[in-house]
Amino acid sequence: MHVDLSNVSKVYPDPPEVVTALSNISFQVNEGEFLCIVGPSGCGKSTLLRMIAGLDQPTSGEIRFKGDLVTAPHEKISMVFQSFALLPWRTVLGNVEFGLEVQGCPKDERVSTSLDLLEMVGLKGSENLFPRQLSGGMKQRVGIARALAIDPEVVLMDEAFSAIDEFTAEALRAEVAEIHAQTQKTFLLVTHNLPEAIELADRILVLSARPGKVKSIVPVEIKKPRKPTTDDFVSIHRDIFALLQSELENTIMRRRLSELKELQGLRDIEAR
Amino acid sequence: MGLSLLGTRTFHRVREKTHRRFIPPAWAVSLLVIFASWESFSVLRLVSPERLPPFHEVLFTLAQLGATPLFLARVGQSFLNVVIGISLAMVVVMPLALLVGSRNQLDQALTPIIMLVGALPDLAILSLLVTVVGRGNVVAIAICTFSAFFPIYFTIRQGVKEIPTDYFHVSSIFKANGAQTFTKVVLPSIFPNMVTGLRLSFEFSWNVLMAVEIIASVAGVGTFISSSLEGPGRSLAYGLAAIMTVGLLTIAADRLFFERLESRIRKWRA
């Protein structure tokens, strides 16, 4: 197994209340697979990704990458951020180089690698621009090139297309699918955009509302490129949407219930 | 996307062209107006020359002073005291502000006290310093350090607090070590704040240094100004020329040093 999670839980013991963000998450990711993680907001899907990245530690359970326990960022696991997280004082090239630079790669080697990647993401000729001169879509292209520069085996994407306008995001998704097909790297994408997940994923992991649990793992066996209008696409969308909706209803019911209880409590006080 | 790129380039080219035609900066025009009215006030005898020497006389004195080694040495000494004072403050404050900016508990423990000390008037501290340290350059440097401390402290502390968490995530994802994170993420992030802090402390230090020199009679521009304005042989023109030297020095430092740093920041900052 490439990435292996067993019984991973994350509990925030911050007073006044203990919050269980994730509870007993177990799943495996195969090498070269594109796995999307979807779930209602606040279900801890970004936390999950951060833990796989080694940026955060699970409260209990184990995360393994190629058999080794992940306790800190691994040199073969890279990440793309929702906020792009480009260093604004570095040029496009300087940002892409960052990983290789801190790992001590010689200058000309890292420049040529970075330029190749920039060409791959369609930013040839923009290497000397600063991030402020780029559109959101271009920024994320730089983010993707930066993530690929260290030649990772796993690319983690945290809501990578959420801060970009839909038209650009659509084009970028197609390019990411292309990059995945070419490089055969393992991709993990956290998203709340269901069509996005269906478009890209080999399998979709559906998380339940807080505390996040694995609700279902849905394989997507539609030939790429996938069009959201085909019957297969629509039917998978309907199935997962139903799953998520029942989750949503559960949350709403739970909230209503707690509101009712509170109301009852108030009435009791009034009655006294 | 290629289109918007092309767009920015043409935009830059247009700007370059307009720059080539010489337009006097607005501040030069206003300065000219001020000096011209000053000169006409004196020439038309609206103000007696004892109260306001004509501008050309001050300008002449300024040129004279510029060729006087003793005066230049005084200016140099004052400048050196300011620079040493700020550098000392920087060395002390930088690590402190970095620590405080990154640890909330330490911030809550220290910053109120530092604010309290900062609220103490510089000149009151000065009298205290004179009794403890005595007179001389040491007290001048000490008071410059004191007044440079607060602007540097608060700007750097703020800068550290404002570093987005994702920058640190980037740094750990790519396995940068502590030193690399510091030089490649923290320092460039706080650089704009550092420049602002230095700029403010430069102003503050000069102001307070002039007072120090006069009160604690430390040789420098301040003493030169006060001695030329007092006593039987007093000359308003000399005093004004010396004051203008300080102004010119501040502007020169601003243009040659701080402005250059800021233009480097403007290249990448939105």
Q: What is the 3-state secondary structure (H, E, C) of B88-133?
A: HHHHHHHHHHHHHHHCHHHHHHHHHHHHHHHHCCHHHHHHHHHHHH
Q: Provide φ and ψ at A215, rounded to 5°.
A: -85, -40
User: Across A13-105, where does the E strand assignment appear?
Assistant: 19-29, 34-38, 60-65, 68-69, 77-80
pLDDT tier at A75 (50, 70, 90 boundaries)? Answer: very high
How many other C-beta atoms can be found within 10 angstroms of the C-beta atom of residue A186?
Answer: 23
Averaged pLDDT for residues A188-213: 90
Q: Does B261 touch chain A (CB under 8 A)?
A: no
Share of chain A above pLDDT 70, in %: 99
Q: If we measure between CA atoms, which residue out of B185, B196, B213, B211 comes closest to residue B158? A: B196
Q: If we measure between CA atoms, which residue out of A165, A245, A160, A233 comes closest to residue A199? A: A233
pLDDT score of B182 more than 90:
yes
Burial class (CB in 10 A: 0-12, 13-18, 19+), B24: exposed
> Which of residues 213 through 232 in chain B touch A, CB cutoff 8 A?
none
Q: Which residues of A touch B5 (CB under 8 A)?
A: 125-126, 129
Rounded CA separation B3/B10 (Å) = 11
pTM metric for this prediction: 0.84
Averaged pLDDT for residues B227-252: 85
pLDDT score of B2: 42
For an interface test with B, give the residue of A86, A98, A123 to mutate (most B CBs within 10 A): A98
How many other C-beta atoms can be found within 10 angstroms of the C-beta atom of residue B26?
Answer: 8
Distance from CA of B116 to the nearest CA of A (A): 32
Q: Is A30 helix (H, G, I), strand (E, B) or coil?
A: coil
pLDDT tier at B6 (50, 70, 90 boundaries)? Answer: very low
Q: Which residues of A touch B184 (CB under 8 A)?
A: 87, 98, 101-102
pLDDT score of A246 more than 50:
yes
pLDDT score of A1: 67
Comparing B131 with B190, the larger pLDDT belongs to: B190
Residues 6+ apart with CB under 8 A from A183: A148
The angle, 0 to 180 degrees and rounded to 10, between the axes of the packed helices B137-161 and B104-119 is: 140
pLDDT score of A117 more than 90:
yes
Which amino acid appears at position B92 of this protein? V
Q: Find out whether B56 and B39 touch, Cβ atoms under 8 Å.
A: yes
Which amino acid appears at position B262 of this protein? E
Q: How many beta-carbon contacts under 8 Å exist across A and B?
A: 74
Rounded CA separation A50/A59 (Å) = 13
- Intra-chain end-to-end CA distance of chain B, in Å: 19
Q: Is B23 helix (H, G, I), strand (E, B) or coil?
A: coil
Averaged pLDDT for residues B120-132: 83
Rounded CA separation A9/A35 (Å) = 20
pLDDT score of A228 more than 90:
no
pLDDT score of A265: 80
Q: Find out whether A219 and A202 touch, Cβ atoms under 8 Å.
A: yes
Lowest mean pLDDT among A69-83, A243-257, B69-83, B233-247: A243-257
The β-bridge partners of A127 are none
Comparing A50 with B3, the larger pLDDT belongs to: A50
Averaged pLDDT for residues A144-150: 95
pLDDT score of A95 more than 80:
yes
- What average pLDDT is seen over chain B? 86
Share of chain B above pLDDT 70, in %: 92
pLDDT score of B10 more than 60:
no
Lowest mean pLDDT among A11-25, A194-208, A250-264, B48-62: A250-264
pLDDT score of B20: 65
pLDDT tier at B79 (50, 70, 90 boundaries)? Answer: very high
Residue tagged 């690698």 (tokens)? A113
How many other C-beta atoms can be found within 10 angstroms of the C-beta atom of residue B167?
Answer: 20
Strand ranges of the sheet holding A68-69, from the earlier edge strand across to the other edge: A19-29, A3-12, A60-65, A68-69
Q: Which residues of A touch B268 (CB under 8 A)?
A: 88-90, 130-132
pLDDT score of B233: 73
Rg of chain B, C-alpha, whole Å = 24
Q: Find out whether B90 and B152 touch, Cβ atoms under 8 Å.
A: yes
Q: Does B1 touch chain A (CB under 8 A)?
A: yes
Q: Is A85 helix (H, G, I), strand (E, B) or coil?
A: coil
pLDDT score of B214: 85
pLDDT score of A55 more than 60:
yes
Lowest mean pLDDT among A138-147, B45-54, B70-79, B252-261: B45-54
Q: Which of A99-108, A253-262, B35-44, B113-122 has maximum average pLDDT?
A: A99-108
pLDDT tier at B17 (50, 70, 90 boundaries)? Answer: low
Domains of chain B: residue spans and CATH:
2-43 (no CATH), 55-268 (1.10.3720.10)
Distances (CA, A) of B154 to B148, B183, B193, B259: 11, 20, 9, 21
Q: Provide φ and ψ at B219, rounded to 5°.
A: -60, 130
pLDDT tier at B145 (50, 70, 90 boundaries)? Answer: very high
Comparing B28 with B155, the larger pLDDT belongs to: B155
> CA-nearest residue of chain B to A156?
B173
Angle at A261 between CA A259 and CA A263, to 5 degrees: 70
Instruction: Give the dihedral sign, CA B15/B19/B23/B26.
Output: positive
- What average pLDDT is seen over chain A? 90
Burial class (CB in 10 A: 0-12, 13-18, 19+), A202: middle
Burial class (CB in 10 A: 0-12, 13-18, 19+), A110: buried
Rounded CA separation B125/B128 (Å) = 5
Q: Which residues of A touch B169 (CB under 8 A)?
A: 50, 53, 55, 79, 81, 85
Q: Which residues of A touch B187 (CB under 8 A)?
A: none
Averaged pLDDT for residues B44-69: 86
Q: Which residues of B touch A139 (CB under 8 A)?
A: none
Q: Find out whether A10 and A22 touch, Cβ atoms under 8 Å.
A: yes
Subunit contact B174:A122, Cβ cutoff 8 A: no
Which amino acid appears at position B57 of this protein? E
pLDDT score of B18: 55
pLDDT score of B198 more than 90:
yes
pLDDT tier at A102 (50, 70, 90 boundaries)? Answer: very high
Distance from CA of B184 to the nearest CA of A (A): 9
Rg of chain A, C-alpha, whole Å = 21
Averaged pLDDT for residues A184-206: 93
Domains of chain A: residue spans and CATH:
3-76+155-161+188-271 (3.40.50.300)
Averaged pLDDT for residues A193-212: 90
pLDDT score of B19: 58
pLDDT tier at B181 (50, 70, 90 boundaries)? Answer: very high
Rounded CA separation B192/B269 (Å) = 9
Q: Which two tokens stand for residue A254?
A: 């739970």
pLDDT tier at A245 (50, 70, 90 boundaries)? Answer: confident
pLDDT score of A80 more than 90:
yes
Distance from CA of B270 to the nearest CA of A (A): 6
| ipTM of the complex model | 0.89
Subunit contact B268:A99, Cβ cutoff 8 A: no
pLDDT score of A226 more than 50:
yes
